[in-house]
Structure 1
């Protein structure tokens, strides 16, 4: 069965009969997991194995596991530091800062792959300007060029572990104070300013082979009156054509407050897909997910299906062997010695 364009979530630590039916729906293509789905490494590995066994090609299993404040699995997993910490000492020892970013990218991805996770939605490519509380220390740096350098290393570590990277939140969430989970952020800057600053990390990461992008639920009225995730200007003209991005585009969660501008959930999904998203996320709202699946009964996009399959995790990592390896022990010890307070303070 070909994968569909909808990514759903689950309410608990096992699959309910209703969820099983929804996961088997032809328009479902993936599952995103949250802390509520997690009890232990063994339990989550079993749950993911069950999800993967439902279909062939298997459903893509994703998680937000950046580190710092955004890490869904805690007990049994290494506490990955926030991205801002990787810039510690960058001016003094650039080589060591880049190595740390690569090692933490590998560690995050390897531990996730060892329980079956296909992708973690990382890295964040937003600029850490100290404006956006929801971004805060999730940003690598305050300078676009440094973000690109550190994110490239982080992505390289992820690749080593068999995981593709997703850059977010295109074209940049760092210049708005409002949180798109609870409000509608508006960035009033001109396109030229955004391209010369916020888009730089995305452009460079695309050059380095970035596999996927997640657009922001932010309105940039100088460019389009729609949020970037609903905008053909941003996704087709700028991301696809101008930046020559050929990879996967995931919408951000359509249940977020800022996504509501498009109307009901069926309308949100339709607008996101029409704008150029390959897959839409519908989280924390089972009825809405069902509505979206029904509304897309006749939808098909072979190009999106091919991109989605390329996001599947590569290779197998045995968790016990991983934790017994010298590489894992070395990186974990280094992370434990770091603490998690960046040298430059960003609001959280």
Structure 2
């Protein structure tokens, strides 16, 4: 059967069974036809030691093309990696995978991504021992997206948590997974399995499905199934749980103070559910967890955590991938040559994005040559990685086509599915005097002001502009005025002046500080006498720090799909169906709850 025929068959089957699959009970994810027993072991046996060591690494590389990137990207590659192109990276280090980033210029548009993926696979299959590469990315949706428009973008995890639907989570995985596969990406570092119980968490927050372990577990398993049904390796992260931290592991090392019993109750359930659902991979966390390992090594380097708990207690048999090894949380204790060695000794299989690949690669080579890491231990990881590549069809179908891209990416049914999922996520927290929904017959003239943070890939413009355009399309006359995330007194005064005479003002906030500039903006707008509709476009905790609003909603992100859904809720085109997946604490007493998990108003 030809490559084109097999892909058409796969897509037709997926389309024909979509409705049934969404409602089906969770079962182990499907796998493509396996090679004959022993075939992968024979590949491992043929590989040289440098090829085996390279197979462990998943590396960044700059450029939109595997062989002809822009000169600036060639310069960046030479400076950071010592190669000019992705093809040279594969030839020199025999890396087993590559991770795509927007900032590395890997993800300009779907056809370019597909061509880059094909070029990388050609390089992998040109090695002395031909092995396809596992191309990965962080496509969490919501605030973390590497592949933007015209690909289909869904609401992020916390928005899905507000919707509470396992069917929607599975739909996201199935649709987004089909699009990733069409452009040559076969592993997604998603879903996030962290239970976000700390409102001050600086790195997880809305990337988590919420603060209820059972709810998070259900959605993690559903989304993982969706991805793997589409032929994408899903990855639960960040083990053993990053949801109760106040330090960003990119810049420091967080410490989790939970007891072992608390970990079992709070952090473990989503990972247990992911493993029971047959997830392909688990990503480690660069966190210290003294109750699980008193050595204070980060979990990424902890044998008691990765081997003792994840492998032996939870029974995970898939691929363990480290979080990025350039993050400070894993570099504080040991040098860059030792970190990958210690990660392997702890039980990891894939070593993600070290800051200096030469140092890391040579460090592992030396450890194997000296016997610190046995050849048998090395082969265990290589075999797990090859088995994953085989499950995801890379040995049989490593390449993609432009026809696939056109047939699958950003199609009308996919975009409609994303809009429908988003329509079930917006949460209404306050509605004094039944101000909402607004009607263009009675409150036509609207001003949209507020925060316009840096845009993730799921946006086509500043949030105020996207909201104004969406409301205008719903029959209002809406004008946008950006005041930023730290409005000056002059910007606040201008917003108040622009609000006078309007029928209502919509103000978007982004991570409000108590008594900060955004809070002062909302209070000043409220004092103007114009009805104020507040929309928290990231963390739903903003409402606790505000006064002056008449109605308040949470969208959990500022991507277009979520902002359009919020506009439809404001206009009464759809009801506010979202319910808080986290508790909102009181400003004056953070130990007390202002709005509990499950709270949300209806029309």
How many aligned residue pairs are there? Answer: 338
- 8 Å contact 2:162–2:425 — kept in the other structure? no
CA distance in 1, matches of 2:334, 2:409: 47
1:133 corresponds to = 202
- 8 Å contact 2:177–2:232 — kept in the other structure? yes
- 8 Å contact 2:110–2:183 — kept in the other structure? yes
1:72 corresponds to = 146
DSSP 3-state at the match of 1:214: strand
Alpha-carbon distance, 1:310 to partner? 3.0
- Encode CA deviations 1:268-312: one digit per residue, 9 max, x unaligned: 1111111110011125x4xx1121122223645222112212333
DSSP 3-state at the match of 1:88: helix
1:344 corresponds to = 580
Alpha-carbon distance, 1:344 to partner? 2.7
CA distance in 1, matches of 2:267, 2:188: 22
1:261 corresponds to = 332
1:110 aligns with 2:178: yes
- Greater shift after overlay, 230-239 or 323-332? 323-332
Larger gyration radius, structure 1 or structure 2:
2
Match for 1:158 among 217, 227, 247?
A: 227
Alpha-carbon distance, 1:27 to partner? 5.2
1:191 corresponds to = 260
2:63 corresponds to = 12
CA distance in 2, matches of 1:67, 1:100: 13
Alpha-carbon distance, 1:87 to partner? 2.3
- 8 Å contact 2:204–2:242 — kept in the other structure? yes
- Encode CA deviations 1:178-234: one digit per residue, 9 max, x unaligned: 110011101122222112210111112211212111111000123321111000000
- 8 Å contact 1:188–1:220 — kept in the other structure? yes
- 8 Å contact 1:323–1:329 — kept in the other structure? no
1:322 aligns with 2:408: yes
- Greater shift after overlay, 127-136 or 225-234? 127-136
1:279 aligns with 2:350: yes
Listed as ranges, the gaps of 5+ residues in structure 2 are 1-46, 67-73, 75-82, 125-129, 369-374, 427-554, 557-578, 585-603
- After the TM superposition, which residues 200-279 of structure 1 pair with which residues of structure 2 at under 5 Å, given as runs? 200-224=269-293, 225-279=296-350
Alpha-carbon distance, 1:26 to partner? 5.1
- 8 Å contact 1:240–1:246 — kept in the other structure? yes
Alpha-carbon distance, 1:336 to partner? 6.0
2:379 corresponds to = 302
273 and 103 in structure 1: CA distance in 2 versus 1, 3 angstrom threshold: same
160 and 169 in structure 1: CA distance in 2 versus 1, 3 angstrom threshold: same
- 8 Å contact 1:250–1:280 — kept in the other structure? yes
CA distance in 1, matches of 2:56, 2:271: 23
CA distance in 1, matches of 2:410, 2:238: 35
Report the RMSD for the aligned CA atoms in angstroms. 2.3
1:290 corresponds to = 358
- Encode CA deviations 1:104-127: one digit per residue, 9 max, x unaligned: 111221111110001110100000
Alpha-carbon distance, 1:80 to partner? 2.1
- Greater shift after overlay, 146-155 or 324-333? 324-333
- Greater shift after overlay, 231-240 or 16-25? 16-25
CA distance in 1, matches of 2:62, 2:316: 34
Match for 1:32 among 77, 96, 99?
A: 99
Match for 1:172 among 241, 245, 251?
A: 241
CA distance in 2, matches of 1:302, 1:27: 15
DSSP 3-state at the match of 2:322: strand
- 8 Å contact 2:216–2:270 — kept in the other structure? yes
- 8 Å contact 1:231–1:275 — kept in the other structure? yes
- 8 Å contact 1:45–1:116 — kept in the other structure? yes
DSSP 3-state at the match of 1:31: strand
- Greater shift after overlay, 224-233 or 327-336? 327-336
Q: When the two structures are superposed, what TM-score results if normalisation uses the length of structure 2? A: 0.53
Match for 1:57 among 110, 113, 131?
A: 131
CA distance in 1, matches of 2:345, 2:242: 22
Alpha-carbon distance, 1:86 to partner? 1.3
1:119 corresponds to = 187
CA distance in 2, matches of 1:14, 1:121: 22
CA distance in 2, matches of 1:194, 1:258: 20
262 and 324 in structure 1: CA distance in 2 versus 1, 3 angstrom threshold: closer
